[in-house]
Amino acid sequence: MRSMTGYGRFEEVTESCKVSVEIKSVNHRYLDVTIKLPKMFYALENNIRGMMKEYTERGKVDVYLNYENYGEQTTRIQYHSQTAGEYLNAIRSAAGDFSLSNEISAAALIRFPDVITMEDERQDPEQFYPLIERAVHSAGQRFVQARQAEGDVLYRDITSKLSYIISMVEQVEKRSPEMVAEYRHKIISRVEELLGDRSVDEGVLATELIVYADKVCVDEETVRLRSHVDTMRQTLKMEGTIGRKLDFIAQEMNREANTILSKANDKELSSIAIDLKTEIEKIREQIQNIE
């Protein structure tokens, strides 16, 4: 089981350059990968995106690639005459519109953005792809290890909460028949108080108890809750993307807890049902981080 929260970093240094890759992720409903690269590596973005699919299926993932060149860099100054002409025409138009002097030197003109650019004459970025590929895969492996470590923590926490839920289900199963017995005693006491020495009609009493027992019976709910807990435990041990399935199971567990609470005609049972809902909600919160 893997968390959607993770971090992995790898750095490779050669005689001519250094490449570092960082991968960070948080929970997200789907897979959303954002890749930030130096301009010279833009052409490799799709390759890197494809590699990331090997390491994650869900989550908001940010990939950062940094590059430092230790070798000699050859740069050239590139003059863009068309851009300079557009700036000059704009200046002339503004001067005519507002009766301003049209005084601009070549030195001033080339200071405008994109008139002069410095272009690096490095070799084709594809030659760096093997180096980048190794760095991305190494960072990806560490990223997965971090997610698995966080997943182990989540697994222990959720299984502990599931055991606590089962203990509360046992309390509900114990309390439910006690409620019926207490209600029977309450009815008999009230009738004897009203009728004095006259005996209680056992037929009427039995009918009343059957109606009450049916009203407060939570056997079906506790059976389904136990089943959902077992299913969740099995799912937690599965490989691959299990977060959505776990979330669905938690919703079903919450539905059963709501029904138990609605049937609770007793302070003690209501308290147990509220604790049950609280613990299920804690599990749902944790599940949101599972891939």
Q: Where are the strands (E) in the chain, listed by range?
A: 6-13, 17-26, 31-36, 59-69, 75-79, 116-120
Q: What separation in angstroms does the CA of 72 have from each of 39, 57, 122? A: 19, 41, 9
Q: Which amino acid is at 125?
A: P
Mean pLDDT, to the nearest integer, of 97-112?
84
pLDDT above 80 for 275 = yes
Domains of the chain: 6-72+124-146 (3.30.230), 75-120 (no CATH), 151-287 (no CATH)
pTM of the model: 0.69
Mean pLDDT, to the nearest integer, of 131-146?
95
> pLDDT value at position 283?
96
Q: How confident is the model at residue 211 (pLDDT cuts 50, 70, 90)?
A: low
Mean pLDDT, to the nearest integer, of 12-18?
86
pLDDT above 80 for 183 = no
> pLDDT value at position 129?
87
Mean pLDDT, to the nearest integer, of 254-261?
91
pLDDT above 80 for 210 = no
Mean pLDDT, to the nearest integer, of 204-228?
72
Q: How confident is the model at residue 248 (pLDDT cuts 50, 70, 90)?
A: very high
> pLDDT value at position 282?
95
> pLDDT value at position 57?
92
> pLDDT value at position 229?
96
pLDDT digits (tens, 9 = 90+) for 19-71: 999 999 999 989 999 999 988 888 899 999 999 999 999 999 999 999 988 76
> pLDDT value at position 182?
63
136 closest CA partner among 205, 211, 36 = 36
Cα separation, 61 vs 33, in Å, equals 5
pLDDT above 80 for 11 = yes
3-state class (DSSP) for residue 64: strand
19 CB burial (10 A radius; 0-12, 13-18, 19+): buried
